[in-house]
Amino acid sequence: MQQWISKLSEQEVGAIIPNEPMSKYTTWKIGGPADAMIVPENNQQLACLITQLYEGQIPWLIVGKGSNMLVSDKGVRGAVIRLSGELEEIRFSDNEVVAGGGASFVRLSIMAGKQGLTGLEYAGGIPGTVGGAVYMNAGAHGSDVSRIFKSAEIVLENGELATYTAEDMDFSYRHSILHERRCIVTRASFSLDKGERLEIGAAMAAFKDRRRKTQPLKQPCAGSVFRNPQGDHTARLIEAAGLKGHRIGGAEVSNLHANFIVNTGQATAEDVLTLMEQIKDTIASKFQIALVPEVFFVGER
């Protein structure tokens, strides 16, 4: 065991799992081992952990449901952090909901609907955490986090706590100010509206049925791989370029939705990266459009 892991084991930072395969924590089911997976259960453990990593100059990575992440076949050096316990709790008060950064965004949307609160119907198909959704300004069906966001509690890279309001977040398409900060969302609050439970449930069911028919949800994937260019759809461009079904190793452009890359069984991160590069090069050549990835690559290549 590395010295820094042994030192952390003497602190109250949560469970520590050395050499944990990251393929267990990504929706692509891809990724080599992390030096250590660390699972804090509350703000105190998380703040202590981040302070120790900061002082020891140990690199770290936060992972939620792994739905926007491609992890290297060589794994991740340093610490990988997953939030649990109190950091996954969801609490409602009138029209406001406060959710831990590690809470499931899908679960939050379902619970809101059962409370008769509208504004999160679109989230029923976003398989990430609340923290990841805030970070990415996650959205679908014409809505996104910025429309309901009130504030977020953040642990900064030195272990200090901060609160960001909506005005601080600089939200835009699939972007927030957190892209430019080294931090972790521990809790976020959202303002919703009163609605009719039956109407909310019907809308969520319609969105779910649409996803089932148009997205390869039965295969390991990471959602949309590239952002939509302004005024167009990446899936249309990829299909027009004749790349539907194109395959590199175990990675394949989905025949159901061309902006999804699926793991057909034995895909490596290198397969996915090579396929992404071929897609980008083809679209740039045919349409003079530079595609921007919506997924993050982490680890050593």
CB proximity list for 261: less than 8 A, separation 6 or greater = 221, 222, 225, 251, 252, 253, 254, 272, 275, 276
Active site residue 294: yes
CA distance 30 to 69: 9
The DSSP result for 230-266, as a single string, is TTS-HHHHHHHTT-TT-EETTEEE-SS-TT-EEE-SS
CA distance 41 to 232: 42
CA distance 47 to 52: 9
Catalytic residue among 174, 176, 187, 252: 174
In contact, 205 and 198? CB cutoff 8 Å: no
CB proximity list for 72: less than 8 A, separation 6 or greater = 31, 32, 269, 297, 298, 299, 300, 301
Q: Which two tokens stand for residue 186?
A: 């521990």
Catalytic residue among 86, 157, 270, 294: 294
Distances in Å between the alpha carbon of 115 and those of 104, 106, 110, 131, 172? 17, 14, 9, 22, 29
In contact, 126 and 105? CB cutoff 8 Å: yes
- HSE (side-chain half, CA atoms, 13 Å) at 178: 29
Q: Could you tell me how many residues make up the chain?
A: 301
Active site residue 174: yes
Residue with token string 């965004």: 105
In contact, 76 and 30? CB cutoff 8 Å: no
**Catalytic residue IDs:** 174, 224, 294
